Every structure is written in structure tokens, then in C-alpha cells.
Structure 1
Amino acid sequence: MNFENKLINILSKKATSPFLFLGSGFSRRYIGLEKWDELLKVFAKQIGKPYGYYNSNANGVLPLVATLIAKDFQKKIWEDDVFSHFCQKYGDMFCSEESAFKYAISEYLQSKIKPYLSDYKTLTKEIEILQKLNIDGIITTNWDTFIDQVFPDYKIYIGQEELLFSDSMLMGEIFKIHGSITIPESLVVTQKDYDMFANKNPYLAAKLITLFVEHPIIFIGYSLNDPNIIALISSIVLCLNSEKMKLLQNNLIFVEFNETPNAIPVISESSMVIGDINLPITIISAFDYEPIYYAINSIQRKIPTKVLRFCKEQFYELILTQDPKNKMAVIDGNNIENTSDIEFLWGVGVVSNQPSSIGYTSIGINEIIQDVLGINKAHLDSDNILKISIPECPGYVPKFKFLRDVGISSIEEMKKSPYKGLELYKKEKLESKAYKKMYLQKYSKKNVSDIIKQFDKDKICFFVMYAKIRPDDIKLIREFLVENFDYYMINNGKYKSYYRKLVCYYDMIAYGF
């Protein structure tokens, strides 16, 4: 049995999809971030003292090294004119002597993040596979926002406090338990931060017990000897009885980087010693992570995690609310004559007590876009699309083509029609100020044809609507949209919302009035 099949066999024994638990080695692999001691050296240099000065005074304990650097950094920025701009930008937000250091770390790490995933030039294939993983969620001690880019639809919880006091669904979520550079004060950096984190570890463990017991947990970017991971797993183990311990066994999978180029991935068994307990774990040693991601993807559920999370949220809300309103259709139990008449249906959407005569409530954005682009041949009834389907679709939805189909070709005609409540997009509504500015600064000389030929698909979605339109360009835009329909709308490409905006723009320039 080859490596991929072995891993599939391990993961398929669980009823749920995996959680990823990501450490600093993960960010180092994909975006080249420094190790923690290397990062601290960057700021020791800015202060003007040798790193060895801090390391020796802290006896090599990195959180204590960070504490000493933070104290000197606080003093340095107010005395040295080199930091005047930094103080003007952030000074009013500092609330402790460690704040300046945390804001500086956040600014430094933010400079390492690229605007788009396609801008990362190394391991591009792995990143492409990674962003398609249909995992249940992510836990990470990383501060950077790379994983936020990879899974933009996942809900993010920052820090222990936010996770502990949230109504998390444990699905389609990212738990940044050591904070995030988007909230500098949340970073777990200094000895004081780590002490506070350790004090709350039992509460965090209690929150994560169900997750660890029911899901495979795949650790990437950690050493097996990482004290933070050992402390967290220890806290979880202490909360489990013997029955739950059996469920936790073989749930923990550690991915180790094999530095030998093109080394064949290997799976082995080991154990983690927690007190007097030997906890069985699986170790994957690999140079290339593609086979690991392919194995995870081969057993993914057919419904995307973000959809399941939405369903779970809605179902949870439905149970809690005392007034479900029109979220349910209820039939008096006295009107059911026998049990064979009972059928259970759980759906997302508003259920009416009278079904649509032709089922247009079930037509969603995919079918609407296919009709506008001429992909399908179903000949949808535009009157029902305008009255029933479009009002049920959230987000950006094209409308002009269907209005033309029912004989409406002006605003005046629409105001007198049954469809007068529909919002018609103007170009300004579809534009992004940031991307428009970037286009004018960098690409203003490029026409539609240039953009489609020279840019990757995501950047085409971002920029093509700002180029001057010539008659032949409408056809080019439609061809691009048709070619990439499956990528964005079926496979849930990351920038799906920008694709939908571009469809609305095409609808406007092709059929608008």
C-alpha cells in the first residue's frame, strides 16, 4: 500500500473531516517567516544591542528574551527620531510597556504578506491544493494572516478569550489561540503573555475536547517536543475518562519536514508521554506535502465546510429562538393520519406551506449565471426568475438580461413593471476603490485584451472592469467568464465574489439600459 492510500485509510476511519493545527514551521514553509529566535534578533538589532545580551540575561528562555527586548524597545522608540513616524502612527494606541513591541512585530509580519495567494512564488502547487481542502477547521499559534488568505470564508476567533466566550460551531472556523497581527495587543509574545495563556489552558482544553476526540488533528509546523503543544494535549488528557481516551488515540497526526529533497513520504507510529500515559500518535515525514493534501482531499465530504457551518448555525438558531417565524412550515399533528405520512426534511431557506408551481425557488445563483452567459440550454422563464429566483439569491446577481427577455428596456418601463423593487447595479456599486486605484496607478495603459491575456484569472476579475470597453471586449469578457465558471462557482474559487461582480458587470454592458 503506497503512502497516499495508507493516509487515506487512517483518515477514513473517522466519521469527521480533519482539523489542521498549524505552527510556525507552516508559515516558514510558505511565506518564509523567521523562526522565533530569528525574529527576536531582528528587533534586538533595531534597538542596537546584541541578541546575545538578551539571550544570556534570559537564560535562553525565549518568552523572557521577548520581555527584555519589549522593555528596551519601548524606551528606544520614544528617544530615537528614526521611530518618530512609528510613534505618530501607533503611539496613542499603546496601553502597556509591551505594546510598542507587539505593534512593531505586527507591522513587520504584515510586510511579509502578499496581497494575493498567486503572488507567492514558491510551493504554488501546494498552496493551490491547500486552499481547496475541505477540512472542518484550523487551530494555529501563528500570528500572521496567511491562513486567513487561504480560507477566506472561515470565521476567525482571535485569542483565548474570544474562543472561550464564543458560540463557535467547531466547523469552518480558524482559532488563532496566540493572537493575530490584525489585533497587535492579542499577541502572545512575552513571559507575562505565556503565563496568562498557561493559566487559561485548562479552559481552552475543555473547549477543544470534543474537537480532539471526534476529529483527526493534523499538526503541521511543530516539533514533537513543542512545550505549548504538550501542555495543551496534557490539559485535554487530564479531562478524559478511559472511554474518551480510547477515542483520542490515533487521532493525533504530526507532519515532520524531511529536509532530504524529493524524499518519499513515510508514515510511522510513535507515542507521546503524558504523565504515566503513552498516547499513540502517527508521524508523517515528508519533503513534499502535496501527497498529504491529496489524501485529505480524497475523503472530503461533498458539501463544502462553509455551507455545513451555515446550516449548523441556522439550525442552532432555529432551536434557540422562541419565534421561528417563516423558517419552518408546521403541520398540526392531529392532521397526520398514520406514521407512513411522516417525512422529515431539513433544508436551508424559507419553507412555504404552498410549493412553487414550477419550482423556481430552487433555482440559485449558478443557474442564473449560466443562463446569462448562455452556458445552459434550459430556457428559463425570465418572469419567474425575476419574481421568484432572484429575490431569493443573496449577493451580486445579474438582472438586465432577464429584464430584456420580458420586454423591459428602460428605467421608466421598469418603474411601471411588477419588478420595480429589484436593485439595478451601477458600475460604481461593483467597483472596489482599492483595485480601481491600483489599476489607474499600474495598469491604466492595458486594455481588456491585454488584461485577459497577461493576468491570472483572479487579477482579471479584479481589474478588467476598469479598462475602457470596446465593442469586441464584451465577447472577450463573456468567454473568460464561461471558461472559469466551474473554477469559481462549482469549485468555490477564493475570489468567487469578484467573479460574481464581473458577471454583473458583463450583464450591465451586454444587456443594460
Structure 2
Amino acid sequence: MVDMTLTEIVNGFNTTPFLFIGSGMSRRYLELPNWESLLKHFATQIRDDKFAYQYYVNKASSGNSSMTLPRVASLIENDFNEEWFSNPAKRNLNEKELESVANGASPFKAEVAAYIKRSFSIIPQYQKEIELLEKISLNSISGVITTNYDTFLEDHFDGYKTYIGQSELIFSPLQGIAEIYKIHGSVDLPESIVINEKDYQIFDEKEKYLAAKLMTIFMEYPIIFLGYSISDCNIQQIIRSIVSCLDTQQLHKLSDRFIFVEYQPNNNGIEISSYAVMIESEPLQMTKIGLSDFSQLYRALEMKKAKMPVRLLRHFKEELYNFVITNSPTATMRVASIDDTRVKDEDLVLAIGRASEFGLKGLSGLDASEWYRNIVLGDLNFSADELLRYAFPKLLKQNSNKLPVNKLLVSAKESYPEAEELALKYTFDKIISKTIRNQRHIVEKYHSVMDIWNLKSATIEKKTRLVAHLPEDKISIDELETILKDLFEQNRNILYEETTPPVKTNIRRLILIYDYLKWGKRKEPSD
């Protein structure tokens, strides 16, 4: 018997825990079927016989017992799909779900997903318990790993990001905070559901990669198992994959962080004991907590809180990660004083040093391609004043004193003499250059921007070059805006390094023309 209370165990955590959630939680809160009950339901959809499920179990019973249910699922799926395609009366899918089958999804998996969605309803007696779980998800839980298909967690854990299936987990940059890892798939993506023998074979082949991805989480966070049997083969296999990478000292640390919660229907209190799981003939020690009322666990976890909501912590980590790997600030990551009134409440703020020393310095990291694209798309979430004050001076020097600024000057609330001087300097003739004016005869047969843009055999380089040769009176602002937006819709990063220099130069010139014609053209004073 462990001589500690639940509160003392939680207080001993080094950080807020990860939850590892199984089907017992879906049965408790949603009255959804477990794996075997789910297969029994679909067996009877094929064979109207009380022995329908046993028929498939009998066919699948030879070989590795841990693969019996996946083999049963495979047999049911094969017969179900054949019946589904030949008998329209067996179909229970809406138009969108039918379309997924038309695009190659398994009818069995699509029907499994639809059945779970239709069966999804909160059991009233657990409403208060669910509300408490919802509450602690804000500050007292770091994240969730689950083998469940349903969307209960996404629906109740506000601001968490969900990753579906092994592939998305393995190939995504996880932040390890306010995230839900659905390792066996989701009803939102039926083909991701791990249920049949082939699914499990693929899962097992990739398991070492998944284990490597989850290793940091298992070593850094307390792990609380909820809704599982202690002997669950899926859990044991995942733990085995992780344990095989650890030495004795690391295993000891792992055992200190593993908490297994066992539902005991007749236990009105809390029973705490040590428990050993045999992994490859070696015991892995963990703490077992037996209870019937999960709110007791949730109230204990409520006492362990992160300093700020975990969804904001994840947002900060993601923004910082993106900044580090791209070396470019994002629209929501700014460096500013906490009391800087220019920063909205929903924006992310990082303050270092004395408040008086800081402005929106993250803007100084913007590059010219982002500046030019913003003239067309308006996709930078910074005000015109912020861009002109903090980004413009540096970018102007880096780009040979040539930048489109008219759009920003029209929107700016303050005066920016250097930008205003630049705007006056770059008239239409100055933008297109003397060389282009001298070669204007090459576009004499074209009467508009679209005449050139609709040339079927011309390359992007040729089209963007020829448009700039048109005289000013033949350039429609609306047509020029259309082709520029079309270019960015086809390739948002068309101005970056992968684009050939001539194309980049041509597009920038067209944006300068667009900026001048739409916002900068000065009317001549009347006589």
C-alpha cells in the first residue's frame, strides 16, 4: 500500500500531467460500445443470427490471441463491404459520408464512424464530472494521448490541437502542450481508424517511430492512464516500445510518473497501491488508484495548475518554434512592452528588459517578399503605422530604396516623410524604366492586361514582363489586381528564392505599378 494521499501524489508532480485515455472513458461518459461490442453490432448487420459474432471469432481464433479481434474485424469488414455494395438497404451514410466511400474509403470504416457519431450522447448523471474535467483541461492537464475514435476530447478540451493517426503524429512538429494525439484514428477521418488486422500490422511497423515521438512526453510528464484495463495489449505494446529504449535509471523515473486509474464501482473512497506491469519479463512499477467517482481525481488535479492557460502555452511554443526554424517573425508573435497599447489582447507578447526600451521590434525581421505580397493580399496582421515605423526603414535600405508604400500611406494615421518622399518619386514612368518605354512596340497588338494574360503558349516570365510594357491607359487596375491575386493563389511563396530571378523582378514591378495606380496616382491640379 502506498502511504500517500491522492493530493500528495499530485502535489509531487513536477508539472501538469498528460492523460492516456481509453475506451472506458467513452463508455462512462457517452455509453459508446467497446471494441468487441462494436464488432458484435456490425456482425449482426451481415448475419441476422445471435451467433453471428461467434461465427467470426471461430474463424479468427487460431494464431496469436492478441490479434484475434483485429482478425475478427478484418473478416467482418470483408463481408460487410461486399454486402454494402450489393445491397443499398445496408447503407446508413449521409451524402458527405457516401462521397468518402466513392473516393475509396472502406464502407465498413465509414459506417463505423457514422455509427459512433449517431450513438454519441452525454450521460446526464456524469454531466457535473465532465464539467470538472473540462475545467481542469484549461490549466491542469498538459495534453492527451488516446486510442478512442470519438470526438469527446476535442469537444470538451477548448483550444487543444488534434493530431489524427500515426503518420500525422510522426511527421508533425509537436509542442507537447494542449494537444490531443489520436493514435488509433478518428471518426472525423474514417480511413485513419485502426481496427482490422492490416491496420494493426501497419501500426506495429511504425510503432518505434511513434514511440520515439512520444518518448519526450513520457520522460518529462506524469502519465495518468484512464479508461484502460491494466492488461490492455495495446497499452502494454506502446509502453514496451518506449521502455526498450530506456536504461535502468530512466525506467525508475518512468515508474514514478506512471499513474494507473482503475474504475472500482463499489469503492466510495480512494484506494492507492503500488502495481507492477510485466514488460518483457521485467516489472515496471507504477501507482494504481482505485475509485468509482472520477471527480475526486479531477479535484486533486485542479490543485496542480500551469502559470497560464495551456492553450496559450502551446500557441507560444508553436510561434517560437516557427520563428526559430524560419528566422521570420509571424503575424501574432511580436516583441513589445506588456503595457504597449498597440498590442491587442489576443496577440502574443514577449517582453524582455525595461518596458521603455521596446516597440514592435519583431517587425524588423520582415522581408521584402512579405512586404510586396501584403500590398496585394493584405495578409500581414500589422497596422500600416507599425509597418511604416518599424519595418520600412530597414527594408528600404535592403531593397535599393525601392518599395511600394502608397497603400500603407493611405491607411496610416501618422506622417512618414521618408515613405512619402519615396511615393512621390516613383511615378509610372519611373517604375517601368526607360528601357521598357523604348521597347513598348512589342505589345502594340495587345489592348489590355487580360489580352496578354490569356496567351496560352506564353510562360509566366513572358506574361509578367509584357504586362509592364503596356502604356498606362491600357492597364486596368481591376485586371492587374486579378492577375496578381491569381499568382499568389497558385503559389503563395512565388516571390521567394525558388522563383527564378526574372519572374520575381517582373512580379515586383507589377506590384509597384498596382500600388501606384490604385493608391498613389496624384491628380494634376486643375487649370
TM-score of Structure 1 vs Structure 2, range by shorter chain: 0.5 to 0.7
Matches within 5 A, 1:37-48: 37-48=36-47
1:309 maps to 2:332? no
Which runs of no fewer than 5 residues in structure 2 stay unpaired?
Answer: 348-380, 382-409, 415-527
Question: 1:194 & 1:319 partners in 2: Cα distance?
Answer: 37
Q: CA deviation at 1:81?
A: 3.3
- Matching residue's letter, 2:124: K
Q: CA deviation at 1:95?
A: 7.9
Q: Determine which of 323, 344, 349 is the counterpart of 1:318.
A: 323
Question: 1:248 & 1:195 partners in 2: Cα distance?
Answer: 27
- Matching residue's letter, 1:110: K
DSSP-derived class of the 2:180 partner: strand
Q: CA deviation at 1:307?
A: 0.9
* Aligned residue in 1 for 2:377: none
Point out the more displaced range, 27-36 or 86-95. Answer: 86-95
TM-score, normalised with respect to structure 1: 0.62
Q: Deviations over 1:5-52 (max 9, x none)?
A: 722322332322100000010100000011211111111111125211
Question: 2:342 & 2:16 partners in 1: Cα distance?
Answer: 31
Q: Deviations over 1:131-187 (max 9, x none)?
A: 111200000000000111111310000000000000010111000000000000000
Q: CA deviation at 1:88?
A: 6.7
- Matching residue's letter, 1:351: V
Matches within 5 A, 1:114-193: 114=121, 120-133=123-136, 134-193=140-199
* Aligned residue in 2 for 1:257: 263
Any conservation in 2 of the 1:71–1:97 contact (CA below 8 Å)? no
- Matching residue's letter, 2:111: A
DSSP-derived class of the 1:37 partner: helix
* Aligned residue in 2 for 1:12: 11
1:62 maps to 2:62? no
1:78 maps to 2:80? no
DSSP-derived class of the 1:94 partner: helix
- Matching residue's letter, 1:318: F
Tell me: CA distance 1:275–1:97, structure 2 relative to 1, closer, same or farther (3 Å).
Answer: same
Any conservation in 2 of the 1:77–1:87 contact (CA below 8 Å)? no
DSSP-derived class of the 2:210 partner: helix
Matches within 5 A, 1:106-505: 106-114=113-121, 120-133=123-136, 134-260=140-266, 263-324=268-329, 349-351=333-335, 359-361=340-342, 364=345
Question: 1:243 & 1:291 partners in 2: Cα distance?
Answer: 32
Tell me: CA distance 1:363–1:176, structure 2 relative to 1, closer, same or farther (3 Å).
Answer: closer
Q: CA deviation at 1:418?
A: 5.8
Tell me: CA distance 1:2–1:227, structure 2 relative to 1, closer, same or farther (3 Å).
Answer: closer
Point out the more displaced range, 275-284 or 6-15. Answer: 6-15
Question: 1:71 & 1:295 partners in 2: Cα distance?
Answer: 47
Any conservation in 2 of the 1:205–1:236 contact (CA below 8 Å)? yes
Tell me: CA distance 1:245–1:365, structure 2 relative to 1, closer, same or farther (3 Å).
Answer: closer
Q: CA RMSD in A?
A: 3.0
Q: CA deviation at 1:359?
A: 4.4
Which runs of no fewer than 5 residues in structure 1 stay unpaired?
Answer: 328-347, 367-393, 395-414, 420-513
Tell me: CA distance 1:89–1:182, structure 2 relative to 1, closer, same or farther (3 Å).
Answer: closer
Question: 1:98 & 1:39 partners in 2: Cα distance?
Answer: 19
DSSP-derived class of the 1:33 partner: coil
- Matching residue's letter, 1:279: L
Any conservation in 2 of the 1:70–1:98 contact (CA below 8 Å)? no
Question: 2:260 & 2:131 partners in 1: Cα distance?
Answer: 22
DSSP-derived class of the 2:187 partner: coil
Question: 2:172 & 2:9 partners in 1: Cα distance?
Answer: 32
* Aligned residue in 1 for 2:54: 52
Point out the more displaced range, 13-22 or 316-325. Answer: 316-325
Any conservation in 1 of the 2:151–2:187 contact (CA below 8 Å)? yes
Question: 1:253 & 1:12 partners in 2: Cα distance?
Answer: 13
Q: CA deviation at 1:83?
A: 2.9
